[in-house]
Amino acid sequence: MSFKTILVVVTDSLHLESTISQGIGMAEALDAHIDVVCLGVDRTQTGYYYAGMNASMLHETVRQAQNSAQTMAAKAKKLMEGTGLRWSVNEAICQLADITRTVASYARFSDLAILPRPYGEDRGVEVEPVVEGALFEGQAPVIVLPTKGKALQMPKTVAIGWNESAEALRAVRSALPFLKSAQTVHIVVIDPPQHGPNRSDPGGQLSAYLARHGAKIEIDVVSKTMPRVSDVMLRCANDMDADMIVMGAYGHSRFREAILGGATRHMLETSEVPVFMAH
C-alpha cells in the first residue's frame, strides 16, 4: 500500500494556511495528489423551529456558507499554485448535521486524510464530525495535526500505542508506508495483562510482523505510572522524540468517549506531535 491521494478538509480560514501547508509537505514527500475540500457549514438545524426565523433568514445562512467556502477556496488555490504538485481544490457546503456524510464522500477515495485538531478553544463544533466522517464513514486513516509543531514530514521515529486491539492493528497496517521508511519504530506496550496469551513476549508478534516488512523495531514495555494511559503514551513519545504517534481510534463507543472522555479524545487534545489513527 502507498499513499497516492491525500485529502485535506478545512472549515475555517483561521486554520486554513497551516493545515494546507502541512498537507503540501506530506504530498511532496510521498509524491501524492492532494485534494483540498473547502467546506462551508450552515449551522442552522432545519428539523427545529426557530422563533422569528423565516425563509429569507434561512437563505442568508446558506449564502454565508457559500461565501465562506468560496473565500477559503480562493486562498487554497493561491497556496497550491506553484507547488508543482498534482492537486485539486473543491468547494462544498452542508449543514452541521450532514458533515460526516459530506466528508466521507471525499474520504472514501483517499488514501490518507490530514486534518486539524478537533478540540481546543479556537476550534468550531464542526471540526470533530470532520474527523469522524473521514475515520468512520469514509474508512480512511487520518493524521490529526497538533496546534503547533514542526512541519509534517516522513517520520524518522514513530511510537505505536499497542494494546492488541483490532483498532490498533488496523492503524498499524494502515501506517505501514511510514513504519517501513522510519529509522526507528517503538512499539509501546503499557501495563500488558499478566495472564494474557502474549504475557511472556508483549508486542513480540507485532514486532515480527513489522520486521518482515523491513521496519526497524524496538519494544518498550512500560508501567502505567500516570492516571491516564494517554498521558503515559505522550510521555513516552516525548522521551523518544517521536515524529508521529500511531494508535487505534475510539476503543470505547464514540458516545462514551464524548461524555466521559477517553484515550483518543485526550490524545487529540494534548498531543504535540501528529497522531495517525485508523478505525
Looking at residue 121, its pLDDT comes to 77
Q: Which of 145, 177, 203 is the last residue of a domain?
A: 145
Q: C-alpha angle 22/26/180, rounded to 5°?
A: 135
| Burial profile 248-262: b = 16 or more Cβ within 10 angstroms, e = fewer | bbbbeebeebeeeeb
Is the domain of 21 the same as that of 101? yes
| Number of domains within the chain | 2
Mind listing the pLDDT tens digit of every residue in the chain (279 residues)?
A: 689 999 999 999 999 999 999 999 999 999 999 999 999 998 776 555 555 555 666 667 888 999 999 999 999 999 999 899 999 999 999 998 899 999 999 999 999 999 999 887 778 889 999 999 999 999 999 999 998 767 788 999 999 999 988 999 999 999 999 999 999 999 999 988 765 666 668 899 999 999 999 999 999 999 988 888 899 999 999 999 999 999 998 755 555 455 445 677 888 888 999 999 998
Task: Give the span between the Cα atoms of 229 and 234, in whole angstroms.
Answer: 9
Domain range for 226 = 157-278
CB-based burial, 230-242: b 16+ in 10 Å, e otherwise: bbbbbebbeebeb
47: domain CATH number?
3.40.50.620
- Does residue 110 sit in the same domain as residue 10? yes
One domain, residues 226 and 266: yes
Q: What is the pLDDT of residue 254?
A: 59
Amino acid present at 261 = G
Beta bridge partners of 278: 248
Question: What is the predicted pLDDT for the residue at 123?
Answer: 82
Same domain? For 206 and 259 the reply is yes
Pair 165, 140 in one domain:
no
